[in-house]
């Protein structure tokens, strides 16, 4: 069985001296795992097109219940990520999230679009990293069936209040009058930004502005929400957070 598809390598594992196993986030088939024989040989024809974060055209062959990469042509390798340790750490976190949440998808191309657009923004340093992280986390949750209910107060139907409260556990929003003060307090600017990421067309999800403090608050909220739904932690996230706190010298 042959499979021709576009995709980005989101995980690689060395097998023996010259071979690797890769996970490919594809446009049409979710996450596909495949062997790449001879990928690590000096000057190997599949070396660059099957490395981590390579976006390539793949020709795969399935035999005995596993895929092998017969041919691959790189379209983009996101080389600029290697110039910034925080950017590469964040990209590795995104890749781990995609493998966690997109593996059950049979062909939602929005997962791939989100990954590619986020990596392009990281490479060009177009947006603050906390904003990119928050947008990726929240949009990924929406794609995976975990869109939070933030359209209006779940009790009285009020659309906006100067301060509102978001309950991460049951994903509901309450206005100041209806809330008992529990949950995550969010101001109007943050609420509108969260709605923008959830409901905007894909091309527009990064088109909003907050203060640096606002981006940090948004990143904290989306991170906690994602971890609650994932019911696990991620080593790549721990490493990124350690970098941003200055616990790891660069």
Q: Report pLDDT for 66.
A: 84
Neighbours of 250 (CB within 10 A): 8
Same fold, 2-76 and 80-152+157-245: no
Of the candidates 108, 105, 104, 97, the residue with the CA atom closest to the CA atom of residue 202 = 108
CB 15, CB 21: distance < 8 Å: yes
Tens digits of pLDDT across the chain (250 residues): 788 999 999 999 988 778 899 999 998 889 999 999 877 776 678 888 999 999 999 999 988 778 999 999 999 999 999 999 999 999 999 999 999 999 766 668 999 999 999 999 999 988 999 999 999 999 999 999 999 999 999 999 999 999 999 999 888 999 999 999 889 999 999 999 999 999 999 999 999 999 999 999 999 999 999 999 999 999 999 999 999 988 876 6
Predicted confidence at residue 42, as pLDDT, reads 66
pTM over 0.75: yes
Domain range list for the chain: 2-76, 80-152+157-245
Task: Please report the pLDDT score of residue 207 as a whole number.
Answer: 97
pLDDT recorded at residue 43 = 67
Report the phi/psi class of residue 219: left, alpha or beta, with left for phi > 0 and alpha for psi in -120 to 50: alpha
Residue 186 DSSP code: E
Q: Which CATH class is domain 80-152+157-245?
A: mainly alpha
What integer pLDDT is reported at residue 16 of this predicted model?
77
Whether CATH 2.40.30.170 fits 2-76: no
């Amino acid at each position: 069985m042959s499979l021709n598809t576009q995709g980005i390598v989101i995980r690689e594992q060395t097998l023996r001296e010259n071979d690797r196993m890769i996970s490919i986030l594809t446009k049409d088939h979710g996450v596909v795992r495949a062997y790449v024989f001879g990928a690590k040989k000096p000057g190997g024809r599949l070396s660059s097109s099957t490395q981590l974060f390579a976006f390539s055209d793949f020709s795969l062959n399935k035999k005995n219940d596993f895929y092998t990469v017969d041919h691959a042509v790189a379209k983009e390798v996101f080389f600029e990520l290697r110039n910034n340790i925080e950017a590469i750490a964040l990209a590795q976190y995104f890749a781990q999230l995609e493998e966690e949440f997109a593996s059950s998808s049979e062909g939602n191309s929005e997962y791939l679009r989100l990954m590619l657009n986020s990596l392009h923004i990281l490479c060009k340093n177009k947006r603050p990293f906390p904003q990119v992280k928050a947008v990726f986390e929240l949009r990924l949750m929406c794609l995976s069936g975990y869109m939070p209910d933030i359209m209006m107060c779940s009790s009285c139907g009020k659309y906006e209040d100067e301060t509102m409260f978001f309950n991460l556990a049951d994903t509901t929003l309450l206005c100041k009058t209806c809330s008992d003060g529990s949950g995550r307090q969010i101001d109007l600017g943050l609420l509108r930004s969260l709605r923008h990421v959830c409901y905007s067309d894909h091309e527009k999800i990064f088109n909003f502005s907050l203060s640096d403090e606002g981006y940090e608050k948004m990143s904290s909220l989306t991170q906690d929400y994602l971890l609650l739904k994932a019911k696990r932690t991620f080593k790549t996230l721990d490493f990124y957070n350690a970098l941003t706190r200055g616990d790891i010298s660069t």
